[in-house]
Chain A
Amino acid sequence: MQRFFSKIVFFRPLVAAVAVRKYNIVMLRKAWMLFINTFTISMTANSGYAIIGVMKNRFVDRYGWFSREEMNNYIAMAQSCPGPMAVSSSMIIGYQSAGFIGAFAAVLGVIIPPFVMMIVVTYFYTFIATNPYVRLFITGMQAGVCALLMDVILGLFEGVIKMKSWFYYLLIILLFLIVRLTDLSVFLLAILCLIIAVVKTLLFTGKMEEKA
């Protein structure tokens, strides 16, 4: 039957779709989970950093889709992208778990809640801006966000310890000082990191060749 249909060119995409259906169902399930998770994250947290923390908790600690090592790489990449970090991190994590469908689902989940909420907020603007209870609740939530960021940093730092080189500790201190003391944009900072990486690899491979 399948062979018969694939003889007709018009049906070929359909036959192909049937053939990879099993694979697609797994991807679609993952995409749906990505959507649900980014949707609830975006409905609660209001900082890109908090969103990264929640994603680490869900996709690494709970579902086990990635290793901590990989997640740290994704955080590093999301940091180096322009625009909202929530979008770039969900794009990266979505693509790595379920391809284009996953990336699309994850980004859609991130942008729908704030989009709908802000449209509603334009009408209730004064109520929200002057209500003391809303303010108290949000300031309270900041404590949770701080704890979440500590968790993210600890995860990243464990990765740095595993690299077992004093070079990275120095680099962190240097970059931290640059961030705190100067006004250098993250874009230039990322370029600086890339240059350091290139130089370090060139020097390192040079030494290896000398030894050999």
Chain B
Amino acid sequence: MISVIAIFLSFLKIGLFAFGGAYAVLPLIEEEMVINTGWMTFAEFSDLVAIDELTPGPIIINSATFIGMKLGGLPGALAATLGCILPGCVISLLLVVLYRKYREIPVIAEAMRTLRCMAVALIFSVLLKMLVSAIFPSGLNNVSDISLLTLALVVASFYVMRKYKTNPLYVMLACGGITLMLSLISGTA
């Protein structure tokens, strides 16, 4: 059994260097768990990626809990989860306290504006990746394999969310349900 403290420290490191969402973090986890510590094999890691995509919840927390559970049972899971969220919690709290105090200062106000531009660029890049993988399931090399259903669902849910301000959770669940039902009816499942 690997010590709980070692698990905590390992995930503290991941939590501290994990900038930029799930896609940037999975390689980091791979490096720490497979190469640096050798706690997981590469096959186990690819299992983890598959399970992350199929379960709700933020991907980093999912991975931390899953790995922690495998390495050290319930205490391990707790240590891993706390470790990976702790740096983010401290830094975001620091940022928001500073923001509250100094947001009127020109430099800070300007910094907020440039950071918002960064958010637009980053989210747009993620959106592009997601749209391509959702609409072209077999990749951009095979554009003829286009999922019209997904395209229609994206357009319809965007319209519904903008127009009626529906809770996005219901829209997302409806999208999942419609996809599942239609493929059951057409017999592709």
Contacts and interface: CB of A to CB of B under 8 A. Distances in A.
Interface of A: 40-51, 53-54, 57-58, 61-62, 72-89, 91-92, 95-96, 103, 107, 110-111, 113-115, 117-119, 121-122, 125, 128-129, 132-154, 156-157, 159-160, 163, 168, 171-172, 175-176, 178-180, 185-187, 189-190, 193-194, 196-198, 200-201, 204-205
A123 B52 CA distance: 15
Interface of B: 15-22, 24, 47, 50-62, 65-66, 69-70, 74, 77, 81, 84-89, 91-93, 95-97, 99-100, 103, 106-107, 110-127, 130-131, 133-134, 137, 150, 153-155, 157-158, 161-162, 165, 167-169, 171-180, 183, 189
Contacts of B15: 82-83
A111 B120 CA distance: 26
Contact of B121 (A148, A154, A172): A172
A77 B134 CA distance: 28
Which secondary structure dominates where chain B touches chain A? helix
A190 B118 contact: yes
Most chain A CB within 10 A, of B60, B112, B123, is at: B123
A185 B92 contact: no
B24 A186 contact: yes
Contacts of B89: 83, 87-88, 91, 107
A77 B99 contact: yes
Given A57-B168, A96-B96, A152 B123 contact: yes
A133 to B, nearest CB: 6
A99 to B, nearest CB: 11
Nearest to A122: B69
Nearest to B59: A46
Given A73-B116, A113-B56, 8 more contacts: A51-B58, A54-B167, A88-B91, A114-B58, A118-B66, A133-B180, A144-B174, A157-B120
A149 B179 contact: no
B161 A145 contact: no
A193 B65 contact: no
Nearest to A133: B180
A100 to B, nearest CB: 9
Contacts of B86: 83
Most chain B CB within 10 A, of A61, A141, A143, A149, is at: A143
A123 to B, nearest CB: 10
B179 A91 contact: no
A85 B118 CA distance: 15
B167 to A, nearest CB: 6
